[in-house]
Structure 1
């Protein structure tokens, strides 16, 4: 029986209404989910004229776990489904980037007693095992072997895979510092840690380890606001770089995909990402540049895989590169200048050659990497005849010829592979690395990511350039002509940023440093004080304010700033020494003596602190105590006996005349 036409029309209309309702319902659900996810977004103010609307650095993510509200779950949650990969990864250098010291890696053989490792700067360094713990010790001895002073600290963590070497971390009340003792595996020797060498002002066991340093060695830490190197305890949440550093947090994945028939977008697979996003995963640690800093309002650990790295980190290069320098983490910059990379149009990346989960066995490395080369060069292999390759001892070793070993400029006793992939004679200079397309060649620094940024991001990035230029002005020193140039360029950029965001502590401290480099001391002091009004415990602003106030002879402010600095970080002998110097300049000799003794209590190897003790006793009329301190100083530094004795006679005359210390 045929249906009534009106009935058919009503049914069609009803069907269309149901379809529209379903579409509307789906849209509402998707919109609700999106709002839920965006509820965890990180909104940052724009910078520059008229750019005041919030921008979401997590917007547009293809993977749901890019949302900052998704929790990290730790490596053990991954092992159940990925056991074989996890076991391989534990042998990879990234899987061994940090370990508790009780694992014994990189330490002398366990056992009772003490083992001398090396001597440096008049000190003998040793390691001792006691009750399952390891202690590093710096000892100063007289020529006859009698101990004059020693500093001992327990080292709790080994930093580094051991492939090139290992450094060791000291942790006291959440403050993390670096031991002066390091192991350099490529030379098979102990030596002084990077940062403690020639020209360094670091004192024993006091080199601060900042979040930006730990980011590329540790799984996760939570910095405490204010101090430069203090962390919530326990300091490390997981130790070595974990699965989630490259794949993103697993909170959604273990909860939802465990029940799903096939994995969704709850965990990142870097191999499936577009080239820029894929390379960002590696670049978060292996792109160093001349200077790098988190973007305004962000911290070192805010980046999530699957997102563009340039939203989170500013990485600056010198426009002309540097032919001489090959940094330990400069592989990204090197690869970016290679012909292989440039002609691949994004196909070539880090994981084209490197398995991030497993290293090839040493005996198989040449063949492994040769096969990676042949993925692109199968039709056109090596142009050298086999006989010539064999004569060089590298018959089937592409890397041996085209990626020679280089000395590393920023870490002594190590070498790295040249990722510029030069052609021709092995080791021949491949030329200067080229800066990214587009930057002004006259600039002191250029942003590595300049070509990828939107106009809004470029506007916001003016602040980051200001921070970088202020850093340059501090590194170059007052006698460099570039100091004035970099500081002059930095000041307006930082002032502009602070107008939009007055609570930007990094910009405020950088503005103070740039103004100080230009000799504008009172203005610099105002900049530091502005930071401290918003963040009274900011260690950088406190110590800078104290030092600058002393140079301006504002001793009351200097004294107060340094006392607050010591309260924020009590483990720095140089802060106590600075306070002793200020108190002596202000004529407060009892206070200066107390501060100098506190400095020596943390590090007895400070001749300036001992000289303040001598001056203080002379001005108090305590000649016997001054003479005793002089004899102690001469025992510590016998090579300068004549100079110190002449200085002592000058100090006695100044004290007798009631003059200032010389």
Structure 2
């Protein structure tokens, strides 16, 4: 929100990096990020739900299997528009949105699948209310800039094999490796692997992210999850920004740009699936609380002492239309019934 050979393509770079980084490559292959983009014909979620339907206003939607393809059709009772689901974006707990191909153009689907309701509903961010006409009901045509921005966070450039097609084009998307790959975070990873294979250790050097500051890590993760500066300049405002974790955590009183104990990787291992149980994050909180700050000042332990740090201090909010509750990364003393602190 790419197409090679489905699951093998998704794991292509992990396999390339595995000889030197076996633990990271093995863990990465099981992450949701690694499968955040799948060819529509190979999307596991669509295979499990081969005939999805929804009525939105006066329009009827259907997503169905047709041979090796998944197809998307919308009808107003008189006419219809149909397209191939070229790509399925998202494998997280919230759901999945589709990129449609019709007449050589790419469209964002007007409806998406949501895990909470096990069915279709309006795509998050689509115009409010029922569609006004069949074209609007079908979906939003994606300009080149939108295609580029979406696919850069759901796929990776492949190894250089000559001149690449212009970014944002259909041909460019087909040359990408589906899913978040090593290259997304470790820029130059393909060249690094090639140089190592050729015995050129000097050219193979890559910056070590484990030596990055908290602020630098926020910029790496924020390239897709939105940085503080990006949201400040562009929005969104209100509860719509709850899903942009790098922005929210900077608002926390305990945020320290130099202290890696409050950095993204202090709680989340990017090479493995995130912990499902909220209580498992509490140990990261206690790394600071009860200890000291980066300049040696003591930090008090929570006075309530329930040992449920994350569930109390990172309340969840439902983003309207998302059918999902997001943990707010603005760490604070959350008051009962408080309004969302933007």
Settle same-fold status: TM greater than 0.5.
Answer: yes
Q: 1:280 to 1:291 in 2, by over 3 A?
A: closer
Equivalent residue for 2:271, pick from 332, 347, 357: 357
| Structure with bigger gyration radius | 1
Q: State the partner residue of 2:109.
A: 179
Q: State which of 324, 327, 337 in structure 2 corresponds to 1:414.
A: 324
Q: Check if 1:402 corresponds to 2:322.
A: no
Question: What's the secondary structure of 2:280's corresponding residue?
Answer: helix
How far does the alpha carbon of each residue in 1:59-88 deviate from its partner, in whole angstroms, 9 at most, with x for none?
A: xxxxxxxxxxxxxx9443213333332232
Contact in 2 for aligned 1:360/1:368 (Cα 8 Å): no
For each residue in 1:505-548, what CA deviation from the matched residue of structure 2 results, as whole angstroms up to 9, or x when unmatched?
xxxxxxxxxxxxxxxxxxxxxxxxxxxxxxxxxxxxxxxxxxxx
TM-score relative to the length of structure 2:
0.77
Kindly indicate whether the alpha-carbon contact (under 8 Å) linking 2:84 and 2:102 is maintained by their aligned counterparts in 1: no
Query: Residue 331 of structure 1: CA displacement?
Result: 1.6
For 1:383, the equivalent position in structure 2 comes to 303
Task: Return 5+ residue gaps in structure 1 as ranges.
Answer: 1-72, 142-147, 293-314, 390-395, 433-662
Q: Which of the numbers 239, 249, 253 marks the counterpart of 1:339?
A: 253
Which residue pairs with 2:192 in the alignment? 253
In structure 2, runs of 5+ residues without a counterpart are 1-11, 159-163, 292-299
Contact 2:218 2:227 in 1 (8 A): no
- Provide, for residues 212-243 of structure 1, a one-character-per-residue CA deviation record: whole Å limited to 9, x for no partner: 22222232496747xxx533255241011111
Gap change, CA 1:208 and 1:140, over 3 Å in 2:
closer
Return the match for 2:136 from 171, 195, 203.
203
Separation (CA, whole Å) in 1 of partners of 2:124 and 2:86: 18
1:218 aligned to 155, 161, 164, which one? 155
* Higher RCO (C-alpha under 8 Å, 6+ residues apart): 2
Q: How much does 1:207 deviate? A: 1.1
Confirm or deny: 8 A CA contact 1:116 1:127 kept in the other structure: yes
Q: Kindly indicate whether residue 281 of structure 2 is the aligned counterpart of residue 369 of structure 1.
A: yes
- Any idea what the Cα deviations from partners look like across 1:257-288, whole Å, max 9, x if unmatched? 45769898622331112444332211211116
Report SS of the residue matched to 1:266.
Answer: coil
- The change in CA–CA distance for 1:223 and 1:171 in structure 2 (over 3 A counts) is farther
Q: Distance in 2 between matches of 1:262 and 1:371?
A: 38
User: Residues 412 and 140 from structure 1, CA distance in 2 versus in 1: closer, same or farther, beyond 3 angstroms?
Assistant: same
* Partner Cα distance (2:73, 2:340) in 1: 44
CA contact (8 A) 1:164 1:184 kept: yes
RMSD: 3.3
Match of 1:316 in 2: 233
Q: Distance in 2 between matches of 1:420 and 1:76?
A: 36
Runs of 4+ in 1 over 6 A off after TM superposition: 259-265, 289-292
1:177 partner SS: strand
Q: Secondary structure at the match of 2:154?
A: coil
Question: Relative to 1, partners in 2 of residues 1:81 and 1:150: Cα closer, same or farther, differing over 3 Å?
Answer: same
Q: How many residues matched? A: 310
Determine the C-alpha separation between the residues in 1 that align with 2:153 and 2:247: 17
Of 22, 26, 33, the residue aligned with 1:87 is 26
For 2:170, what is the secondary structure of its paired residue? coil
Question: Alignment partner of 2:76: what SS?
Answer: strand
Measure the CA separation in 2 of the matches of 1:406 and 1:220. 34
